Amino acid sequence: MANQLKIMAISAHPADFCSRSGGTLIKHVQAGAKVKIVWLTHGETDESGLLYQQRPDISVDEVRRIREEEAFACAEVIGAEGKMFGFGDNPLRMTPERMEMLSQEIKDFRPNIILTHWQAELTYPTHWVASESAVRAAQMARASWDIRFFEPNIGTAVRVGFVPDHYVDISDVFDQKIEALTKLAAQPHLVSLYKTCNRWRGIESRCEYAEAFVRFAPEVPLLHLLTG
């Protein structure tokens, strides 16, 4: 399958790729694409508060183990393979060595499309660093320049200037996306939040549920006429 479409999602935390683009990835897997998820961190500091609340004596290593297990269970529902770097978050430090590791992962997989965080997500430093790193690593790998940014942290799109330039209708796979999200048990609130988010994007794009994206390198349409 030399011409098989390959999509790589570079996710700061275990849940980010699914909450923002899980439906899109499911649709592409169903259409025959190969999908790989790369997680830069376990989210052990930024996004595992419930685990610490439920188990005050839990170790960081145990949190990492739980979050990694959840991440791969989520990817399995989607039909994607995964790679956990687990670099540590808050702060996420992308050293030259780590950038080389990410670049090599891209070079080995050779994606046609890369999905990652919104490039101007200044309200969430780990996401912003992940996005910047994904773009830089793609350039280092001389990989596809077809990079699509997915939703910023929910509720911040207007503040950080995220205005979608294309949508994917995920109505027919929405239940499977929710099934994948439920595997991320440390963040149960994501289910209701992204039901709302995807419904809103569906209203914008005139379908039931949708996911929204912005191209890094916009494609300008060439029209024969303004109408018709």
168-223 pLDDT, tens digit per residue, is 999 999 999 999 999 999 999 999 999 999 999 999 999 999 999 999 998 788 88
Q: Is residue 95 part of a domain?
A: yes
Q: Is residue 223 part of a domain?
A: no
Q: Is residue 74 part of a domain?
A: yes
Q: Is residue 117 part of a domain?
A: yes
What is d(CA 72, CA 36) in angstroms, rounded to the nearest whole number?
A: 11
Q: Is residue 103 part of a domain?
A: yes
Contact 195, 171 (CB under 8 A): no
Q: Is residue 226 part of a domain?
A: no
Query: In which domain, by residue range, is 87 found?
Result: 6-215
Question: CATH number of the domain that 203 lies in?
Answer: 3.40.50.10320
List the beta bridge partners of residue 115: 9, 148
Q: Is residue 42 part of a domain?
A: yes
pTM: 0.95
What is d(CA 104, CA 99) in angstroms, rounded to the nearest whole number?
A: 8
Task: State the total domains in the chain.
Answer: 1
Q: Is residue 18 part of a domain?
A: yes
Query: Is the pLDDT reported for residue 1 higher than 70?
Result: no
